[in-house]
Chains A and B, each alone.
Chain A
């Protein structure tokens, strides 16, 4: 079998590597550089704090899968395997007021029912047990999922690409797909530089750019996929002391310290589209994120922000990702994108299960809710 994977982010890289490891002849096409897009702009947080039980179940497997691949990559002599900088990171979901507490409590029981461990704590206990820097008078309650995890998305994606290459895959950067055709003989793809690629299967794993790739062959995800504006910032480094990740779900806010020692804050959905990624909008992000940081963690007031960035994140109308065979070309084209704000939590597991489906034609029960063409 020959497959073309479009997209060199975390999902495309994992699909490509899993297929290559099983003997598929893979060609990976990335329009920019590897991890460009949502993968490289994420915090690297892996959490069971999801809004759907299927997503919780997939997220529960992610840490083990990352560790298994880390071991494999190290055995293959891939240098990036030593740089995952992964650590356990209990995720602290903060309810700012009583109303948010009511909503979080419902979500927390969903996490619990799907098999995750969840603790409910008052502000003083969160401070004492998890985050001494927190200001306990700034919030009402918190739910902690102690089994969560964090890692660096760049080395993980690079290691996947390196392994895929060692397993026979051909990979290309700065090759944007501009034309594609599906026929009885398979799929033919043309890139902006004029290169032509042919294969039996086409895997669309291009994040926010995926609906555009699907449109080239007259295909569609079925469900609405909207690229929303997300943004992040990074501070100067300090000694590594903060293991947990702090979240305010109502504000799509995440805050953590990486093992590389800097602090990263993101707002995973600013609530609007921002096709030009304008500077005014990065200022709005910086103001919004800084207000939350200083309110919840006043000791950070004089910590310096060094850099900020924006991203397009592929949000879907019903909150599920799009994973499965195309409705238009069910034997040739496979869709995998639309990972909302949980690409790092769910993406690696979903990608490895998808590779299994592509290889064997079987159906993974955990992916059934995600099929293209479903009704949202």
Chain B
């Protein structure tokens, strides 16, 4: 082990859809703070890729929030609850194109 960065012997998977580990989540947080000076969950979601996969955060949103708030606390940044919740968007669960395509309306 190099000793420079701590490596997990058995990597803890945070986001299963996008295959993101705890270690990568911490690296993403550090890059976000160092290079952008940003601390919000929307930017964190995009930089880390967590919460962007098939489940859209059902399995990992709370982990993203746990790591984000933990790292913010370590960095001495005050927690703003509004910035810990990335925006939710429709549809609520995956829906195939065919379902919308067969709906009435929009003569376009």
Contacts and interface: CB of A to CB of B under 8 A. Distances in A.
Contact of B56 (A172, A289, A302, A306): A306
Most buried by A among B46, B95, B99, B101: B101
Contact of B36 (A36, A158, A279, A300): A158
A304 interface: yes
A60 interface: no
B1 interface: no
B91 interface: yes
Contacts of A162: 35-36
A291 B106 contact: yes
Nearest to A282: B90
A33 B54 contact: no
Interface in B59-108: 83, 89-91, 94-101, 103, 105-106, 108
A236 interface: yes
A99 to B, nearest CB: 15
Contacts of B106: 284, 287-288, 291
Interface residues of B, number: 29
A287 B96 contact: no
Given A306-B94, A307-B56, A34 B100 contact: no
B35 A287 contact: no
A300 B96 CA distance: 8
B98 A302 contact: yes
Nearest to A154: B46
A139 interface: no
A293 B101 contact: yes
Contacts of A36: 42
Nearest to A30: B38
A185 B7 CA distance: 54
A174 B101 CA distance: 38
Nearest to A172: B37
Nearest to B100: A290
Contacts of A165: 35-37
Contacts of B98: 290, 294, 301-302
A20 to B, nearest CB: 14
Nearest to A309: B89
A215 interface: no
A251 B107 CA distance: 12
A242 interface: no
A79 B99 CA distance: 40
B20 interface: no
Contact of B54 (A174, A236, A309): A236
Interface string A286-330: 111111011100001111111111000000000000000000000
Nearest to A235: B97
21 contacts: A34-B38, A34-B43, A36-B42, A158-B35, A158-B36, A161-B35, A162-B35, A171-B37, A172-B37, A282-B89, A286-B91, A286-B100, A287-B105, A301-B96, A303-B97, A304-B54, A305-B94, A305-B100, A308-B89, A308-B90, A308-B91
